């Protein structure tokens, strides 16, 4: 029998980690190759992880709720095939690790290195986080298998404010020297780290009658992405008011016939997405991303739309939105929303977005400031259409009005181009009439 590893697979473009929402097997279970063994959530999609081998599950290394990086170990499986060592050679490492742990109380420095054979194998996420926060990884003690430094290790460091910089003393050395000097000096240390990202501080505690709700993997992933967007991207905001009275008349005139003929609804949102796609074609600056020493302007216009399902939020993509009719966009919106509700979104549904349009108006919102979907350069919030009196042609008239709220990455975009973009979207929408606009 051979002992093999099953690692976290790549679950989509730019997905670096996944959270095990549930194991579908337990030690002792026999599975065939490609049988699903676990359900995994990422910030983009829920997916089942198939077994890479046929055999018997012997150990679940990761627990439900654990977030682990792509390529890291999930579980062991015993396969038939006799005596060959594990293909990657990793199993051999594991055989030697156990005895090492038993002797763990010896030479501190040497032992630490032996216990951490994976210490200097960094994931892209860890490297990026270290660069962004100027962390010297040589001074970080990893909690992952084989001493590997994980994203969680760095998040704890950042939250604590005690970030090791290049040239600082090794943590172990500091620990040894500290008692010899002034032990009471500790309270002054946080002040020196005040330039770092705000530490989380004491965590709130529940009082009698409060309800504690565990943070799920998806919620955790959303939180991490939002922090990343808000800490990395300098946001600025603009809002424009649009008179969509003509559009309302157009949509109301066609919606019943359309629904009967096509089998799905002709929503306002499809018209807004169409207008945004058309304007992005004319203002490609907004269809771009910050890439450190350059800005990448995307050719494809792939629009993320936000879809909520229960307490989960997904942002599937309408591909090549500029090439589609209003009917085609409406169908994509319907299909993606249904797949999100049914938990059937795939990695392909979530990949390649270049700009995000969020239908906040569906909740009755009239103004909001969206958080940019990293690494895109902007997000547009379509607010609720409200009928209200507007002064025009020397008198008040009841008009259908809507606010479009744009959040922009100020590294990439300035007010001029964003103002012109919003003015163009406004112009397109205000000129959509029954006479000049086809939904096909």
* Contact residues for 393 (Cβ-Cβ < 8 A; gap 6+): none
Token reading at 401: 């009005």
Q: Which residue has the tokens 């991490």?
A: 224
Q: Which residue has the tokens 């627990």?
A: 63
Neighbours of 84 (CB within 10 A): 11
* Cβ pair 324, 301 in contact under 8 A: no
> How do beta strands 17-23 and 67-69 pair?
antiparallel
**Cα–Cα nearest to 376, from 298, 318, 279:** 298
What DSSP element (H or E) covers 424?
helix 415-430
Instruction: Name the residues annotated as catalytic.
Output: 410, 414
Helix pair 124-133, 151-160: axis angle to 10 deg: 20
Neighbours of 230 (CB within 10 A): 13
Say how far apart CA 413 and CA 411 lie, in whole Å: 6
């Amino acid at each position: 029998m051979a002992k093999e590893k099953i690692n976290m697979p790549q679950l989509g473009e730019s997905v670096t980690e996944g959270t095990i929402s549930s194991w579908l097997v337990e030690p002792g279970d026999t599975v065939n190759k490609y049988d699903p063994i676990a359900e995994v959530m990422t910030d983009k999609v829920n997916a089942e992880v198939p077994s890479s081998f046929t055999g018997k599950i012997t150990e679940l290394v990761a627990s439900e709720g654990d977030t682990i990086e792509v390529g890291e170990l999930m579980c062991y499986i015993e396969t038939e095939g006799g005596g060959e060592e594990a293909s990657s050679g990793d199993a051999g490492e594991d055989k030697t690790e156990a005895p090492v742990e038993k002797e763990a109380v010896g030479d501190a420095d040497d032992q630490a290195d032996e216990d951490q054979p994976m210490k200097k194998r960094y994931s892209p996420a860890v490297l990026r986080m270290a660069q962004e926060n100027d962390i010297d990884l040589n001074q970080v003690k990893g909690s992952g298998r084989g001493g590997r430094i994980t994203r969680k290790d760095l998040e704890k460091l950042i939250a604590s404010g005690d970030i090791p910089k290049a040239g600082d003393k090794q943590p172990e050395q500091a620990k040894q020297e500290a008692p010899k000097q002034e032990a009471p000096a500790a309270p002054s240390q946080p002040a020196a780290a005040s330039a770092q990202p705000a530490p989380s501080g004491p965590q709130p505690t529940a009082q009698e009658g409060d309800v504690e709700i565990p943070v799920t993997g998806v919620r955790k992933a959303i939180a991490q992405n939002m922090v990343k967007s808000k800490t990395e991207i300098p946001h600025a905001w603009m809002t424009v008011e649009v008179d969509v009275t003509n559009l309302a008349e157009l949509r109301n005139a066609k919606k019943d016939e359309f629904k009967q003929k096509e089998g799905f609804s002709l929503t306002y949102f499809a018209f807004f997405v169409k207008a945004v796609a058309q304007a992005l074609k004319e203002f490609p600056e907004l269809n771009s991303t910050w890439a450190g020493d350059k800005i990448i302007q995307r050719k494809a216009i792939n629009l993320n739309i936000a879809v909520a399902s229960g307490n989960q939020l997904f942002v599937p993509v309408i591909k090549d939105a500029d090439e589609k009719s209003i009917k085609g966009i409406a169908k994509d919106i319907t299909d993606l929303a249904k797949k999100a509700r049914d938990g059937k979104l795939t990695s392909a549904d979530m990949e390649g977005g270049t700009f995000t349009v969020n239908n906040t108006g569906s909740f009755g919102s009239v103004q909001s400031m969206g958080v940019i979907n990293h690494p895109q350069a902007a997000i547009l919030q379509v607010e609720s259409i409200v009928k209200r009196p507007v002064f025009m042609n020397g008198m008040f008239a009841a008009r259908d009005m809507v606010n479009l709220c744009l959040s922009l990455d100020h590294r990439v975009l300035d007010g001029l181009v964003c103002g012109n973009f919003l003015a163009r979207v406004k112009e397109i929408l205000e000129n959509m009439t029954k006479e000049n606009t086809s939904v096909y």
